[in-house]
Structure 1
Amino acid sequence: MPKVEIHPTWFDNATVFCDGKPLCTVGSTKKEVQVDIWLGNHPFYNTTSDIIDSEGRVERFMKKYGLNSRN
């Protein structure tokens, strides 16, 4: 038999907030969940920014392992 009264209280409709605005409801052990980043304001998922290789990581990797990037 499982032990009684060891699990936290489960809230089926916990509200998720970002910047003070409610986003959605989820199941959680907290009544309210605060998030800093979500799909709507993350630069990767919206069109406000481009993914660029500003530090030359790809070129550095290719040079380090002697690979030709044109293959």
Structure 2
Amino acid sequence: MKPGIHPDYHDINIVMTDGTTYVTRSCYGKAGDTLRLDIDPKSHPAWTGVQRMLDTGGQVAKFNKRFAGIGTRAKG
């Protein structure tokens, strides 16, 4: 490897969504920094198999309002 072209690789603290912590090595931040996860294997549906509807910024409500009439037929 060429000297001086690689980022600093150091220990950081990871805080999971349930509050558990562990130390890993990363290029993130400075040595000893803390990375707080919003989504992790204990809470994400891809790993847990439990689906939840998260409405961030009203996107689901906006979709439902826009496409409410699709699939319904008017009488007559």
Per the normalisation by structure 2, the TM-score is: 0.42
* Greater helix share, structure number: 2
Greater relative CO, 1 or 2 (CA 8 Å, sep 6+): 2
The structure with the greater share of residues assigned to strand is 1
Taking structure 1 as the reference length, the TM-score comes to: 0.44
